[in-house]
Each structure stands twice: as structure tokens, then as C-alpha cells.
Chains A and B, each alone.
Chain A
């Protein structure tokens, strides 16, 4: 069994999900509450990874992360390592690739919470951040669960972007999907079966958890 690849995959998915919780929740909150004219633009950009072929996203990221490009060069100066063909580069790419899976469920959850409970919180002197943490976030709990599981599972399942940006370096960028691809290419079907079945079981269980909990989670809103 490719334990290195499995561990790396879960590490990548975990780090990406945590990073997206921190970055995606404020973005989703802003999208759910803003009356700004640029909202449709931001929504469209956020949804792009849903429709773009992963190779397109991966190609542009490869160009951006290149040590000769400004972002890639900055990263080399800061960390001494390149963004291309490194775990850090994979995390950065995964954050962009999985962004809609975090933002969209959260945005609809926040929209369902609405302004009413937050006005009530404000009238009790709760600062907006206080109101977000103590009222909006708990009421959007179901959205957080859905977004977290979908982001994690979607990151586990990515292939094209990883291949373009990370390549196939064992222990650094060789995640499960890449390992399976290589096993099939080299006709090691038994290994490919084992790893594929593991991934299939994981994804099925993750989705089952989301749907089961979604059904039983008490609906607070409404």
C-alpha cells in the first residue's frame, strides 16, 4: 500500500480545508451580506474552478508559480524553496481549486441566517465580529459542516491541477490520485485496485456523513 501517498493526500486536504475555513468564511460572509456592485464579479471568479478544466487552472498556476515569475520569485525569496513541484505549491493550488466548495455552501447558509438575528445581536451591543462568531456561525453550522466535508473530499480527489503544478515526487507531491495514475500507466493493476477502492470508500463515507447529518441536524433557521 502507498501509505506515503495516503498520508500526503490527507495532509494536503487537511491543510487546504483549514486554510479555506479561514479564508473562505469571510469571503462567503461578504458575498452573503454585501450590496456591492462588484459582487457578481467576485461570485463568478469564485465559481471558475467549477467549470475550468483542471489542466487550464494548473497551467496558469504553473506559470505564476515559476521562480522567474513575480509570485514564484517572491516565494523563493521568502522560503528558499520553489512553489512549483513542492507541497506548499500544492496547498496554494488546492486552495484555489477547492474555493467554490467552501464558499458556496457557506454563502447560502449565511444568506439563510439573514439579517434579523444579527440586528438582534447588534441591539444587544454585540460587535459585528462578536455577532458573527456567536450568532451567525452557530446558526450556519450545517453550512460549515457541508463546506468542510466537501472541500476536504474534493481536495482528496483532485488530479489535474496536482499533476500540472506538483508533478510526482514521492513524499512531497505524490498524492493518491497521482499514484493510481502511475500504477495504471505501469500496468500495476492490483495496486491501483487497492488504492482506488480505498479512495472510493473514503469519498462515499464522507458524502454519506454529510447527507445523514444534514438530515438530522436541527434546522435552526426559519
Chain B
């Protein structure tokens, strides 16, 4: 028995390339339904927990943190935090988790500096230095301010800094952007994108905003009605039609991974490379050539052709294979999935066009991409 479980653990460790695994098998009554989630998550980088409001996302995070009386098992690597069968229930303050709340929850009686020092004083060994965190989050000018004198975005920056200073083994971010307007979101996102990796903390990120998930997360767990519905690499999970039906009226789109090729200052374009083919996007000088970039392509911005078109304003044309064609009789539209060098694009065309072109699964087609956005 024990030999078998050791083997199992070894396999997972190999698959995760040394990454920590977060074992969750919990149950928690939640008003009109139960949160019931059994997943083994490989925690390298950011993992998103995605789903509609009321799906139990926050309850899942709060159960991991020890704020809810969930039953079952929660373990990060060898660290068992909850095992009701064995009578183990580690209290929240002894679980090495950092929790960033939607409402920041800075201590109102302490200054910004006081809030940060509160975390630093209670941190474990190997914690990042106070000055490094202050510099990374541009907090120097805020240190003497009271939390009540901060904007929503500043509060979240301080909250993130406070959490990083505590040096948790696992970072739990509970919709940290939900209370912010889109300009503020754009201010915070780069920090959320860079810092967990910079400070070496695997992260669970709860969101109901698909663009945040697509931008930040390497893997995504989809929750609906308290149950896990899908888990895997973000792009693959978000492409699944069943996931899209669970996630509600999200716009059909895919996130593809591309590599930054070069910037064209004259035409103000940034050229990316996707599966050996170039894509032009609006200039984004923040990306260094050679870096990986996530770009989002909406299904309604993708047209299909059976021959390579000429004399066309659309410059992003990809050769691929039609892998999926879904045409519902009561809808004017058909949805198609096209495999381009191993990555999947989704196209929304009219059912009439699909019939005229004689589209069928397995055909070679050209995907014409009218616009591409960096996933913000």
C-alpha cells in the first residue's frame, strides 16, 4: 500500500517538474449547495480558479486557508493542513498561506508601513526583504499614509506587498481586482503577473473575469455549482465548449501563446510568431523580443477560407486544420475550431457560409484573424 502511494507521489513530482502539489478533497455546505472538490493541483506559477459568481470559488480558497469548517483533506506537498479522517485540522494562522482579499483588509489602525511590518515581523525564514517588496510594488511614497487615504488600487498593491512579506508557501488571491475599475485593474495586473514568480510563490487566483484568467494563469480549474468541472492548461480549458457553457455568457475566444519577434515603429506594429507564422498586433513596446506573450483572439474576429486569400486587408492568415465544427440548427452561426501548429483558434462564422464553403471536420483551412489583443 505504502509503496504504491510512494510511486504515485513520485510520478506526480516528475510530471510537475518538482513543483508542489496542492491536494484538495473537501466538502463544505454552502447555502443551497455543497462545495465538493477533489483535485490534485500542480502548483507552479499561477493557477486560476474560474467560474461564475456563486460557484464556490471563494469558499474553496477560504477552506484551503482554514477560514471555513470544511471536512476532507487539504495538503500542500507533505504539509497536511486538513485531514478530518485523521483528526487533523491545522488552524489558519499555522497554515503557510498568504491570503489577498477582494477588499484588501489592511489594518486601519496602522499606516501602510505598519501593515507591511506587521507581516514582516511574523514572516518565516527566507522572506523577501522589506525594501525589495516596497521597491517591487512602488510603495515607498505610500509608507506613511493611512489605509483610509489610499485609492482602491493602492490598497490592493499594499495588500499584495503585505502578503508577499509574510513569505507564504502558497499565495491565495481572492478576486483581488474585482472591486477596481478597468484603469486600476490595468495598473495592478502587471504586478500580479510578475511578483508571485519573482518571489517564488505558487499562486491560486480566483476570478470570474476570463481575461484575467487568460492573462495570468498557466493552469485553470473551472468550478460551477460547487463542483470542479475542468482542470488543465488555461488555453485548453478555456477552449472547451462545455466549459464555456458552464462559465456563462463569456465571449468565445482563445488564448494562444506566441513569441515576440520584433517591433515595427514605422507602422506601429509588434510582430509575433505563432506556430511558425507571423502575426501583427498593435505596437506593445513593453514586450521584449524573444519573450513569450499571451494573446487573445475572439472567435468573431476570425474568418475562414478554403484557399489562401490574396489582396486582403487582413494580414494575419494561418494555415490550419478544421478540428471541430458545431452548427446548431436554430442558430445563424456555426462555431469552428482550427488547429494551427498545435494551438487552437476558434472562429464564429455563419452557418450559411459553412455550408457554401463545404466545411467539414478534418479539412485544411486558412484562418483569417482580423484583430488580436494582448491579453490584458
**Bound: A185/B101 CA distance, A:** 65
B107 touches A123 (CB 8 A): no
B108 touches A221 (CB 8 A): yes
Q: Does A53 belong to the interface (CB within 8 Å)?
A: no
Q: Does B93 belong to the interface (CB within 8 Å)?
A: yes
> Quick one: closest A residue to B168, CB to CB?
A123
Q: Of B67, B91, B94, B118, which one neighbours A124 at CB under 8 angstroms?
A: B118
Q: Does A96 belong to the interface (CB within 8 Å)?
A: no
Complex interface residues of chain A between 170 and 197 (CB less than 8 A to chain B): none
B109 touches A123 (CB 8 A): no
Q: Does A126 belong to the interface (CB within 8 Å)?
A: yes
> Could you give 5 example pairs across A and B, Cβ below 8 Å?
A120-B101, A122-B67, A123-B65, A123-B92, A139-B107
The winner among B101, B122, B163 for most chain A CB atoms within 10 A is B122
Complex interface residues of chain B between 97 and 139 (CB less than 8 A to chain A): 97-99, 101, 103, 105-109, 118-119, 122-124
Q: For residue A122, which residues in chain B have a CB less than 8 angstroms away from its CB?
A: 66-67, 91-93
Q: For residue A127, which residues in chain B have a CB less than 8 angstroms away from its CB?
A: 93
Q: Does B166 belong to the interface (CB within 8 Å)?
A: yes
**Bound: A135/B65 CA distance, A:** 19
**Bound: A119/B122 CA distance, A:** 15
Instruction: Given contact pairs A123-B99, A124-B98, enumerate 20 new A-B contacts (beta carbons under 8 Å).
Output: A119-B65, A119-B92, A119-B99, A120-B107, A121-B93, A121-B107, A123-B97, A123-B163, A123-B168, A124-B118, A124-B162, A124-B166, A125-B94, A125-B96, A126-B122, A128-B91, A135-B107, A135-B109, A139-B108, A141-B109
Q: Of B108, B118, B166, which one neighbours A134 at CB under 8 angstroms?
A: B118
Chain A 118-161 near chain B by CB (<8 Å), digits 1 or 0: 01111111111011001100110100000000000000000000
**Bound: A125/B99 CA distance, A:** 11
**Bound: A36/B105 CA distance, A:** 27
Given known A123-B65, A125-B93, contact A117–B163 (CB-CB < 8 A): no
> Quick one: closest B residue to A127, CB to CB?
B93
Given known A125-B93, A126-B122, A127-B93, contact A119–B105 (CB-CB < 8 A): yes
Given known A124-B119, A125-B122, contact A220–B92 (CB-CB < 8 A): no
Q: Of B106, B109, B163, B168, which one neighbours A138 at CB under 8 angstroms?
A: B109
Distance (whole angstroms) from the CB of A190 to the closest CB of chain B:
50
**Bound: A121/B67 CA distance, A:** 12
Chain B 214-251 near chain A by CB (<8 Å), digits 1 or 0: 00000000000000000000000000000000000000
Q: Does A116 belong to the interface (CB within 8 Å)?
A: yes
**Bound: A120/B124 CA distance, A:** 17
Distance (whole angstroms) from the CB of A55 to the closest CB of chain B:
44
B108 touches A220 (CB 8 A): yes
A117 touches B107 (CB 8 A): yes
A124 touches B65 (CB 8 A): no
The winner among A116, A120, A138 for most chain B CB atoms within 10 A is A120
**Bound: A4/B98 CA distance, A:** 58
Complex interface residues of chain B between 144 and 189 (CB less than 8 A to chain A): 162-163, 166, 168
Q: For residue B108, which residues in chain A have a CB less than 8 angstroms away from its CB?
A: 117, 139, 220-221
Q: For residue A131, which residues in chain B have a CB less than 8 angstroms away from its CB?
A: 93
Q: For residue B97, which residues in chain A have a CB less than 8 angstroms away from its CB?
A: 123
Distance (whole angstroms) from the CB of B60 to the closest CB of chain A:
15
Q: For residue A138, which residues in chain B have a CB less than 8 angstroms away from its CB?
A: 109
Given known A119-B67, A119-B99, A120-B99, contact A125–B105 (CB-CB < 8 A): no
B98 touches A123 (CB 8 A): yes
**Bound: A22/B97 CA distance, A:** 33
> Quick one: closest B residue to A119, CB to CB?
B67
Q: Of B66, B67, B93, B124, which one neighbours A128 at CB under 8 angstroms?
A: B93
Distance (whole angstroms) from the CB of B333 to the closest CB of chain A:
45
> Quick one: closest A residue to B103, CB to CB?
A116
Q: For residue A220, which residues in chain B have a CB less than 8 angstroms away from its CB?
A: 108-109
Distance (whole angstroms) from the CB of A121 to the closest CB of chain B:
8
**Bound: A139/B240 CA distance, A:** 48
Distance (whole angstroms) from the CB of B97 to the closest CB of chain A:
6
**Bound: A125/B67 CA distance, A:** 13
Distance (whole angstroms) from the CB of B123 to the closest CB of chain A:
7
**Bound: A135/B123 CA distance, A:** 17
Distance (whole angstroms) from the CB of B96 to the closest CB of chain A:
8
**Bound: A121/B96 CA distance, A:** 13
**For the complex of A and B, 5 pairs with smallest distance between CB atoms:** A123-B99, A120-B105, A122-B92, A122-B93, A220-B108
**Bound: A131/B105 CA distance, A:** 14
Given known A124-B166, A125-B166, contact A139–B109 (CB-CB < 8 A): yes
Distance (whole angstroms) from the CB of B134 to the closest CB of chain A:
17
> Quick one: closest B residue to A137, CB to CB?
B109
Complex interface residues of chain A between 15 and 52 (CB less than 8 A to chain B): none
**Bound: A130/B94 CA distance, A:** 13
Q: For residue A135, which residues in chain B have a CB less than 8 angstroms away from its CB?
A: 107, 109
Complex interface residues of chain A between 66 and 119 (CB less than 8 A to chain B): 116-117, 119
